[in-house]
């Protein structure tokens, strides 16, 4: 039996590999919707490039422990609650971590009971 040299290797893709481009595209679309719902511009400088979600208060969840779709769902809920603003990368770095109540970060704070 002769193998023809014109036969090229055809990769066998899993179901996930077939779906992955569509899932990533849907995530990009959902993120674009969320950015548009916040105005599509940095609230501090007006830039439309490298936009990031900035939490006004410290979030209660860890982003690295969630997949993209779950993070987008959380962002959507927090946008509806008014807990997120849109900042460009530079402004978000300048803003730093959000502060909750001042006393929670003050090591010398003693509550008066």
pLDDT in tens, 11-46: 776 776 777 888 888 989 999 999 999 999 999 888
Specify the pTM: 0.66
The reported pLDDT for the residue numbered 103 is 39
Residue 93 lies in a domain: yes
Q: What is the rounded end-to-end Cα distance, in angstroms, of the chain?
A: 90
Residue 11 lies in a domain: no
Residue 111 lies in a domain: no
Tokens describing residue 58: 């410290």
Residue 75 lies in a domain: yes
Residue 9 lies in a domain: no
What confidence tier does 113 reach under pLDDT thresholds 50, 70, 90? very low
Domain extent for 51: 19-98
Residue 8 lies in a domain: no
CA torsion sign for 94, 40, 66, 28 is negative
Angstrom distances, CA of residue 84 to CA of 72, 75, 77, 94: 12, 8, 10, 16
Overall domain count for the chain: 1
Angstrom distances, CA of residue 111 to CA of 51, 58, 100, 101: 39, 21, 16, 13
Residue 34 lies in a domain: yes
Residue 4 lies in a domain: no
What confidence tier does 73 reach under pLDDT thresholds 50, 70, 90? very high
Report the Cα 1 to chain-centroid distance in Å. 55
């Amino acid at each position: 039996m002769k193998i023809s040299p014109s036969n090229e290797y055809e990769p066998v893709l899993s179901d996930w590999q077939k779906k992955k481009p569509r899932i990533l595209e849907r995530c990009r679309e959902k993120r674009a919707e969320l950015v548009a719902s916040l105005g599509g511009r940095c609230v501090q400088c007006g830039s439309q490039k490298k936009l990031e979600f900035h939490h006004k208060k410290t979030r209660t969840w860890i982003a690295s422990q969630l997949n993209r779709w779950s993070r987008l769902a959380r962002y959507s809920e927090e946008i509806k609650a008014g807990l997120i603003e849109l900042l460009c990368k530079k402004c978000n770095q300048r803003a730093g971590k959000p502060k909750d109540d001042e006393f929670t970060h003050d090591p010398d704070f003693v509550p008066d009971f």
